[in-house]
Amino acid sequence: MDREVLKSEIKRLRSERNAVIMAHYYQIREIQEIADFVGDSLDLAQQAAKTDADVIVLCGVHFMAETAKIISPNKKVLIPDAGAGCSLAESCPAGEFEAFIKAHPDHTVISYVNTSAAVKALSDLVVTSSNALQIINSLPQDEKIIFGPDRNLGNYIKSLSGRDMLIWDGACHVHEQFSLQKILELKKQHPQAEIISHPECKQDLLKVSDFIGSTSAQVAYVQKAEAGEFIVATECGVLFEMSRKCPGKLFIPAPPDDDSKACNECTFMRMHNLEKLYRCLRDEQPEVLVEEQLRRQALRSIQRMLNISANLK
Ligand code: 13P
Ligand code: SF4
Q: Where are the beta strands (DSSP E) in the chain?
A: 19-24, 37-39, 55-59, 76-78, 108-112, 125-127, 145-148, 165-167, 194-197, 211-212, 229-233, 250-253
d(CA 146, CA 194): 33
Q: Residue 1's pLDDT band (boundaries 50, 70, 90)?
A: confident
3-state secondary structure of 138: coil
- Cβ–Cβ < 8 Å for 231, 245: no
Domain limits, CATH 3.40.50.10800, in the chain: 3-84+269-289, 88-172+294-312, 178-253
Can you name the CATH fold of 3-84+269-289?
Answer: Rossmann fold (3.40.50)
> What CATH number labels 88-172+294-312?
3.40.50.10800
Q: Which atom of ligand 2 is nearest to the CA of 24?
A: 6
For the chain, what is the mean pLDDT?
97
> What CATH number labels 178-253?
3.40.50.10800
3-state secondary structure of 22: strand
For the entire predicted model, the pTM comes to 0.96
d(CA 109, CA 233): 28
Task: Give residue-wise pLDDT tens across range 205-258.
Answer: 999 999 999 999 999 999 999 999 999 999 999 999 999 999 999 999 999 999
Pocket test for ligand 1, best of 25, 32, 129 (most atoms within 8 A of CB): 129
Give the list of residues 6+ apart from residue 41 with CB closer than 8 angstroms, or none.
24, 60, 64, 67, 113, 114, 128, 129, 130, 214
Q: Whose CA is nearest to atom 6 of ligand 1?
A: 41
Question: Residue 238: CB within 6 Å of ligand 1?
Answer: no
Q: Residue 304's pLDDT band (boundaries 50, 70, 90)?
A: very high
Distance 248 CA to ligand 1 centre (A): 25
Predicted local distance difference test score (pLDDT) of residue 262? 84
Distance 26 CA to ligand 1 centre (A): 8
Q: Where are the beta strands (DSSP E) in 36-95?
A: 37-39, 55-59, 76-78
Task: Give residue-wise pLDDT tens across range 106-146.
Answer: 999 999 999 999 999 999 999 999 999 999 999 999 999 99
Task: Report which of 311, 305, 181 is spatially closest to residue 254, judged by C-alpha positions.
Answer: 181
- Cβ–Cβ < 8 Å for 125, 110: yes
pLDDT over threshold 90, residue 100: yes
Distance 238 CA to ligand 2 centre (A): 13
Q: Which residues line ligand 2 (CB under 6 A)?
A: 61, 86-88, 114, 172-174, 235, 266, 268-269
Distance 158 CA to ligand 1 centre (A): 19
Q: For residue 230, give the amino acid letter.
A: F
pLDDT over threshold 70, residue 313: no
d(CA 78, CA 31): 15
Task: Give residue-wise pLDDT tens across range 150-196.
Answer: 999 999 999 999 999 999 999 999 999 999 999 999 999 999 999 99
Q: What percent of the chain has pLDDT over 90?
A: 96
